Chain A
């Protein structure tokens, strides 16, 4: 079972920042937070992942709370092409026991003009 909770849907105005929340209150010390998104009729696409520090790449920023029980994915300037289902996943990462990527229901983000 997925170990994260996300709102089923969100709207965002084009050009504005999209802030997608995720709760993972039972996260373990060796579990990372991953974000993927799935645009209609395509396979999921990796966005970003982190352990406890905030992370930023060319696609998004990931803010993880100090207690690691929740996180927020930030798309700084949402475009219509960012309309997709966003999945927050916790996953063990280790040299010998990297865990499965288990998807939940995700958040459907609708970016509106």
Chain B
């Protein structure tokens, strides 16, 4: 079974530039998550989708971060403009619908360095 796919694996940009990350979840998984993991910390949830609707985006810095999940499958996370403190690994995860309480399957992440 194919896992959660993310790209790019690594990205280096200068502050005030923009960047986009892509995620393809496991087939059939209706719930998709984006997490931000700063070095030395545990992952922090940014946004959660159920199909193509947003369930929770309370921790998403909406002045610079945006995310969408068109057609309830792939998702993109965009940062514009980037700040130094956005340097982190951005993890995408997917799971079966929330009511089943199932495990989350994570991708390998996209490492962003903002200079």
Contact = CB atoms under 8 A, between A and B. Distances in A.
Contacts of B4: 43
Nearest to B104: A101
A106 B41 CA distance: 9
Nearest to B91: A43
A43 B109 contact: yes
A105 B99 CA distance: 26
Size category of the A interface is 20 to 34
Interface string B56-99: 10000000000000000000000000000000000101000011
Nearest to B100: A98
B48 interface: yes
B42 A87 contact: yes
Interface of A: 2, 32, 36, 41-46, 49, 85, 87, 91, 93-96, 98, 100-106
